[in-house]
Chains A and B, each alone.
Chain A
Amino acid sequence: MSVLVYIEIAKGKVKKASLEAINYAAQIATQLGTTATAIAFNADAAQTEEIGKAGAKKVLVVKGDQYKTNDAVYLSAAVEQAAKAEGAKVIITSFDVTGKSLAPRLSAKLKAGLVAGAVDYPTVNGNVLEVKKNVFSGKATATYTINSDVKIISLMPNSFPVKLTDNKAEVADFAVDLGGITSKIVIKETKSTDTAGMVPLPEAELVVSAGRGLKGPENWGIIEDLAKAIGATTACSRPVADMHWRPHHEHVGQTGIAIRPNLYIAIGISGAIQHLAGVNGSKTIVVINTDKEAPFFKSADYGIVGDAFEVVPKLTEAIKKLKANN
């Protein structure tokens, strides 16, 4: 019996969300008196070493071209077989794009209860796990009990720490039998929306976001400069994406993506409830708005009542000064 954790490798590196998942798996494993086993696809020696450092006792390496596109049909078959081989009763994935396909498919195959988007470590209560997740788009949390024999938990990215130690994992190849399994999904084209030098939004710890208060797409230079000075990723409110001032993948909120960065700076955004739904899990929120009555100030830790076009360039300079002195 072990706790099995699914690892994703992107652009040659173990994803940060996966490192968080290993840490989480190792914590539960300790509570259950066992250890964490990772399953990684086409991983090389440097990657398995990092998986070990993050807390896995063992790494199962699965090789094959089928896994390169993260197709859940193949991934779920492999994870299912690994779970059986390891006698794993708890399976951990991230609640990222792959996790949102993989965990539900596995849940169906294994009749395993799934809590999607956990934000806290579980409580073990006999054969039942209790896990907290956000509900009502962040307005509340719910404690779920998972009653099934096999249990699956997917983790909200940026909710758990990564702790690297000098732990070394045992590495073993794991052969998966894909006999009779073929995915019918054919990839025709893949376009990257990543901006060079920027952490993708779901994983970003620092985010600079702007709304309709910026008046037009031509004014985004000050936002990009601030983001660059901090090392942050840019985001936007929904109307800004709807009017095509900014690309659709930058839109955060109820209908966009939900993020939980350490720092969220909201510039010229009023703070409508549907916007807050996507960002109220941020650890620190800074609001810059001309209107001192803007609702966002009620959800902010720090606020500046002022004109973005004056405040933001000054803030960028002040941050550059701080960075230069440190």
Chain B
Amino acid sequence: MKILVAISNVPDTTTKITFSDNDTKFNTAGVQFIINPYDEWYALVKALELKEAGKATTVTLFHVGLAESEATIRKGFALGADDAIRVNAESPDSFFVAEQIAKYAKENAYDLILVGKETINYNGSSVGGMIGGLLDFPFVSLATKLDINGTTATIEHDIDGGIQVVECPTPLVISCSKGMAEQRIPNMRGIMAARTKPITVVEASTDAPLTNIKSFTLTAGRTTCKYIDANNVDELVSLLHNEAKVI
């Protein structure tokens, strides 16, 4: 069983967001990049657990991005991934990423493709379902537990208003959410080994993107908070009823 884990490179969650070029580009100056938390904490660590349990042979990282993001890939190596593919392109949207992953996974016969629930920068929640559609593979979204026995995956995942347990044969695509695994910290041996693990760089297919970002706008903060005395909750109720009109 070969596992492909798609990792994206995102600004650290506490980053103050700014834009450049007339609000058409995300300003990366001074930004600390990390592996998208869903990809690292859940997808990658789950893949490593499956390998440690003898249920997978290799864990390959897949990243669409420019050379700057190799530091992020090395972090994935430090955690224990075996090798990596980097598609040398800036991704315009989820579809572009899904196409690159689908093409590579098909040519190289991956059994299990793990992606994160969503990226915390573009919040698409789309790549996994798109890979499923492109390859005609089953796709299970928002997985919180996963086990593999032979060629059957048993998955617990979130559904509307509940939790569902499903079984599905490989090959398949799974998007990973909180619960799948626990966050790990790389150890010294992992960090040393990461330096020499191979990253294969491939060029992207050149199809015109289906969507583009035209411009960004920062979300306006709230105007000042109205404080109400703790002994005067009636006033809050009255404001919620008459001013905000929410109750």
Contacts and interface: CB of A to CB of B under 8 A. Distances in A.
A184 B13 contact: no
A107 interface: yes
A84 interface: no
Given A76-B133, A147-B208, A301 B244 contact: yes
Given A115-B211, A135-B123, A263-B247, A254 B160 contact: no
Given A254-B120, A263-B246, A302-B226, A104 B126 contact: yes
B189 interface: no
Chain A interface: which size bin? Answer: 35 or more
B169 interface: yes
Contact of B246 (A95, A117, A185, A283): A283
A140 B244 contact: no
Interface stretch (B1-9, B72-80, B81-89, B138-146): B138-146
Nearest to B126: A104
Contacts of B34: none
B217 A140 contact: yes
A104 B128 contact: yes
A182 to B, nearest CB: 10
A100 B141 contact: yes
B225 A300 contact: yes
Interface string A133-161: 11111111111111110000000000000
Interface string B205-217: 0001111111111
A181 B244 CA distance: 50
Contact of A285 (B121, B213, B217, B222): B222
A62 interface: no
Interface in B23-41: 37-38
B198 interface: no
B95 A107 contact: yes
B134 interface: yes
A107 B13 contact: no
Given A97-B159, A147-B208, A274-B13, A104 B219 contact: no
A97 B166 CA distance: 16
B147 interface: no
Interface residues of B, number: 79
Contacts of A89: none
Contact of A314 (B19, B95, B233): B233
B167 A255 contact: no
Nearest to B98: A108
A225 interface: no
Interface in B104-137: 120-134
Nearest to B238: A322
**Which of A105, A183, A189, A315: most chain B CB closer than 10 A?**
A105
A158 to B, nearest CB: 13
Identify whether the interface residues of A are mostly helix, strand, loop, or mixed.
mixed
Contact of A186 (B168, B215, B230): B168
B210 A148 contact: yes
B26 to A, nearest CB: 8
Interface in B215-247: 215-219, 221-222, 225-230, 233-234, 236-241, 244, 246-247
Contacts of B122: 135, 142
B200 to A, nearest CB: 25
B162 A194 contact: yes
Contacts of A141: 216-217, 219
B213 A97 contact: no
B31 to A, nearest CB: 11
Given A104-B129, A112-B210, A301-B244, A322 B217 contact: no
Nearest to B122: A135
B225 A97 contact: no
A141 B23 CA distance: 11
B163 interface: yes
Contact of B236 (A10, A138, A304): A304
Contacts of A95: 125
Contact of A318 (B179, B211, B237): B237
Contacts of A76: 133
Nearest to A156: B123
Interface string A157-186: 000000000000000000000000001111
Interface of A: 10, 70, 72-73, 76, 95-98, 100-109, 111-117, 130, 133-148, 183-194, 200, 202, 206, 230, 248-249, 251, 254-256, 258, 262-263, 273-274, 277, 280, 283-287, 297-307, 310-311, 314-315, 318-319, 321-322
Top 7 nearest A-B pairs by Cβ distance? Answer: A108-B133, A104-B129, A306-B230, A113-B210, A105-B133, A263-B246, A113-B211
5 contacts: A97-B160, A185-B166, A187-B166, A248-B178, A314-B233
Given A186-B166, A256-B178, A307-B230, 19 more contacts: A97-B160, A101-B141, A104-B98, A113-B93, A115-B211, A134-B219, A135-B122, A142-B217, A143-B216, A147-B212, A183-B138, A187-B164, A200-B161, A280-B219, A298-B225, A302-B226, A302-B236, A318-B237, A321-B237
